[in-house]
Structure formats: C-alpha cells, structure tokens
Amino acid sequence: MNAPLLSARGVTRRFGGRIACREVSFDLWPGEVLGIVGESGSGKTTLLNCLAGRLAPDEGTITYDSAAAGTVDVHALSEARRRLLARTEWGFVNQDAREGLRMGVSAGANIGERLMAIGARHYGSIRQTASDWLARVEIDLDRLDDRPTTYSGGMRQRLQIARNLVSEPRLVFMDEPTGGLDVSVQARLLDLLRGLVDRFHLSAVLVTHDLGVARLLTHRLMVMQGGRVVEHGLTDQVLDDPQHAYTQMLVASILPV
C-alpha cells in the first residue's frame, strides 16, 4: 500500500463545445472500491471510459501502477500495450452484457477467451478453469456449452463478470453493473460482487446512479454533477452526512423502504 493503483490528475474531456467531465483528480488505492454517482449526463460514464483507457482525455493524465511494468501513463501507452493491460490486469463490466460478451459462442468460450488471448493452449485446462468460474458466479455447470443468448439477464451479467475476472485482474471498471435487472436479481449480483471483491482483493471503479448499490459495494464515493466532482469521501460519510447541495438532494430523493 505504498502507492496508489490508479491516479487521475485534472482529467477533462469535451465533446464539441460541451465539457463532459472537468478537472477530475483522485487516487485509488489497492483494495479500494470507488463509486462514481450522479444522474444521467453528469459525466460519470465519460470519466470511467477515460480511466479505463477507452477514451482519451483532452487534458490531464491517468497513471496506473502496473504489475508488469511499474507506473505507466495510461494514455501515453501504445495501443498494443494498453489493450494488453486491459485484458490482463484490468476488467470492464458493461451495463449491457451483450456488449461485454460474445453472444455467438458458448459460456465456456466466453470465459476462456482471455486465457487463450494470453497464450493458454490446453483445451482441457481452459475448460476446467471456465467451469470453476461458472461455479463461482453461481451458474449451473450444465450451461457451460450454452450460448449467452439462452441466458437470463442476471446470468449474462454474472457470466460477464466471470469472463472478466478469469485473468485475475487487479482493477475492474464497472458501468452500472446492476442496471436494468430485477431487484431480486440485483441483490444476488451485488452479494456475488461483494464476495468476489473481498476474496480476490480487487480494486474497482463503479459507476452507478443507485445509491443503494453504492452503499453496499463501495468504500468511497465521488458525486458528479455537470461534469464536476462536487463531493468526495467515504461512502457512509457522503450518504449519512452529505455536504453539497446536490448530494443532499440525491440522498433526500431515496425512497425509504
């Protein structure tokens, strides 16, 4: 815990004349789960894509403490190295599982892809690893050879998580991972994610508009409004003692159960 895993400094991204995110700076330390909350259009997904190397910021830098190569400037890397990083040390869980999965091949092939991409060439052991991960995300083993098109929404999302975690990444980016799922399905996914984060000592950046999800999964929160981070702190501090007007409004908008 001597150095941050991921650091953002002054990250700004414009689309035409509109500023999607503005001068965002933070450090993510190993083992931390950082939530980014805010309503649609607040710039949280743009920021996530910048952090994950998918979208170049107009200003600012993002550095990552890589296991393979020490501290690297994510956007100064060659595309080849950035993509290598993305499929070995990182994961990315999309809100829409169809974007994160290969819908035309089996669950086993989906999980095995990262392994094969980094050189695994033993069918039997790839299949075994895929089975282990299927069990970890609570999918019946007899679904290993089925395509995700035959899976329910919750199962697809769990499969997407397995596909990402199989290479044992150190950092996972998640964009509304529980969005669009039924509440009971959400609960199962949240619990699963929580367990995996603990078990594999994952660090994560999670974008969500659901403060309940943020409460359950994250250690820290950044609240974004109009592209700016308006508040930042421990998750329970931000939710129990919100300081900024916008955060107070967000917290006050949660329906009591």
Partner 1 sequence: MPDSQHDGSAYNYAYLDEQTKRMIRRAILKAVAVPGYQVPFGGREMPLPYGWGTGGIQVTAAIIGRDDTLKVIDQGADDTTNAVSIRRFFARVAEVATTTRTAEATVIQTRHRVPETPLKDGQILVFQVPIPEPLRMLEPRETETRTLHALSEYGVMQVSLYESIARHGRIAKTYNYPVLVNGRYMMSPSPIPKFDNPKLDRNPALQLYGAGREKRIYAVPPYTPVKSLDFDDHPFEIERWSECCALCGSRESFLDEMIVDDAGKRLFVCSDTDYCRERRGEPVQ
Partner 2 sequence: MTTMLPVLRVSALNKSFVVHAQGGLALPVLRDVALSVAPGECLALVGPSGAGKSTLLRSLYGNYRPQSGSIQVRHHDRWVELVGAEPRITLDVRRRTMGFVSQFLRVIPRVGALDVVAEPMVRLGASPEDARRRAGLLLGLLGIPERLWPLPPATFSGGEQQRVNIARSLIADYPILLLDEPTASLDTANRDRVVELVRRRREAGAAIVGIFHDVAVRDAVATRLHDVALPGAQP
In the complex, least distance from residue 89 CB atom to partner 1, rounded to whole angstroms: 16
Least separation, in Å, of the C-beta of 163 and partner 2? 23
Q: Could you write out the DSSP letters of every residue in 70-103?
A: EEEETTTS-HHHHHHHHHHTEEEE-SSHHHHS-T
Q: Which does 16 bind (CB under 5 to 8 A by kind): partner 2, partner 1, none?
A: none
Is 198 a binder of partner 2 (CB under 8 A)? yes
Q: Which of residues 208-247 bind partner 2 (CB under 8 A)?
A: 215-216, 219-220, 233-234, 236-237, 240-241, 243-245
CA distance 21 to 101: 28
Residues pairing with 223 in the sheet: 37, 231
Q: Minimum distance between the CB of residue 210 and partner 1, rounded to whole angstroms?
A: 32
Q: Shortest CA distance to 208 belongs to which of 197, 229, 223?
A: 223
- Partner in contact with 122, chosen from partner 2, partner 1, none, beta carbon below 5 to 8 Å by kind: partner 1
CA distances 183 to 179, 194, 210, 212, 216, Å, are 10, 16, 12, 11, 14
Query: CA-based angle 71:11:203, to the nearest 5?
Result: 50
Among positions 9, 188, 209, 228, the unique one binding partner 2 when judged by CB under 8 A: 188
Which one among 190, 205, 211, 214 touches partner 2, defined by CB under 8 A? 190
Tell me whether residue 144 or residue 230 sits nearer to partner 1 (CB atom): 144
- Asked if 182 interacts with partner 2 (CB under 8 A), we say no
Edge-to-edge strand ranges of the sheet holding 33-37: 90-93, 171-175, 203-208, 33-37, 220-225, 228-234
# chain residues binding partner 2, by CB under 8 A: 25
> For the chain, how big is the Rg over CA atoms in Å?
18
Residue among 191, 209, 188, 211 nearest 199 (CA)? 191
- 200 sits near partner 2 (criterion: CB under 8 A): no
Question: Which residues have CB under 8 Å from 14's CB, separation 6+?
Answer: 20, 58
Q: Which of partner 1, partner 2, none lies near 141, with the C-beta cut-off 5 to 8 A by kind?
A: none
Could you give the 3-state DSSP secondary structure of residue 59? strand
Residue ranges in contact with partner 1 by CB under 8 A = 79-80, 83, 102, 105-106, 108-109, 112-114, 116-118, 121-124, 126-127, 144-145
Least distance from partner 1 to the Cβ atom of residue 183, Å = 34
**Which amino acid is it at 102?**
R
Specify the residue, 105 or 187, whose C-beta has the smaller distance to partner 2.
187
Least distance (Å) between residue 39 CB and partner 2: 17
Q: Which residues bind partner 2 (CB under 8 A)?
A: 1, 29, 32, 187-188, 190-191, 194, 198, 215-216, 219-220, 233-234, 236-237, 240-241, 243-245, 248-249, 252
